[in-house]
Amino acid sequence: MDFIRLTLAGFDDFAVYFAASIALVALFLAIYVRVTPYREFALIRAGNAAAAASLSGALIGFVLPLASAVAHSVNLADMAIWGAIALVVQVAGYGVARALLPGIASGIPAGNVAHGVFLGALSLAVGILNAACMTW
């Protein structure tokens, strides 16, 4: 029984960090889909691969630095602050992409897969760099 008790000793911390992470992911998605001028979830439900690639890249691009923040934080507040920074950086990445390629905002709802894949890859690249910078 001691083995089980010791094994599960950190479960409460896991549950708190996991719940906070899920809340940050939900917040990220809520903000991101409001920043973009198209409705990703409706487009994805309709089979738009460009929207799926774009949003998937943004989601993974956010979760990577969030995972780094969870792994390297000293407490929940520290993780939340770095998670918020990851959110801002990922949304800013979309803003930069839109400034560099103004047609991307109309290309994704039109189903331009090249736009969706590029935006998804850019979001992933931003997330990887963001995560690497959080390994203090």
Over residues 113-123, mean pLDDT: 97
Q: How far, in Å, CA of 78 to CA of 71, rounded?
A: 11
Number of domains within the chain: 1
Contact 111, 50 (CB under 8 A): yes
> pLDDT tens for residues 41-55?
999 999 999 999 999
Q: Which domain holds residue 96?
A: 2-133
Structure tokens, 114: 């090249």
> pLDDT tens for residues 58-71?
999 999 999 999 99
SS3 108: coil
